[in-house]
Amino acid sequence: MLSILDFVRSNWRKANSLGLAFRSKLVAMTVGRRPSKSCQVKQLDQIIGSRFDLKRPGHFVEVGAYDGERFSNTSWLADNGWRGVYVEPSRQFSQLCRLRHLFNDTQVLNLAAGEEEGEVMLMQSEALSTMCEGTFDEYGRIPWAKKQLKKQLKHQATRVCRLDSLLQETKTPVGFELLVVDVEGYEENVFKGFELSHWKPKMLIVELCDVHPDFADNEQLVDSATRVRHSILEAGYTEIYRDEINSIFELKSSSDSCTPDNHRLAAA
Query: Does residue 258 have a pLDDT over 50?
Result: no
When mean pLDDT is compared across 40-44, 118-122, 166-170, 191-195, the lowest value belongs to 118-122
Query: Does residue 148 have a pLDDT over 80?
Result: no
Phi/psi at 80 (nearest 5 deg)? Answer: -85, 5
Query: Does residue 261 have a pLDDT over 50?
Result: no
Domain that holds residue 135: 2-266
> What's the CATH number where 167 sits?
3.40.50.150
**How many domains is the chain built from?**
1
Task: Specify the higher pLDDT residue, 224 or 8.
Answer: 224
pLDDT per position as a tens digit, 70-81: 999 999 999 999
Query: Does residue 15 have a pLDDT over 90?
Result: yes
Q: How many C-alpha atoms does 101 have within 13 Å on its Cβ side?
A: 32
pLDDT per position as a tens digit, 83-104: 999 999 999 999 999 999 999 9
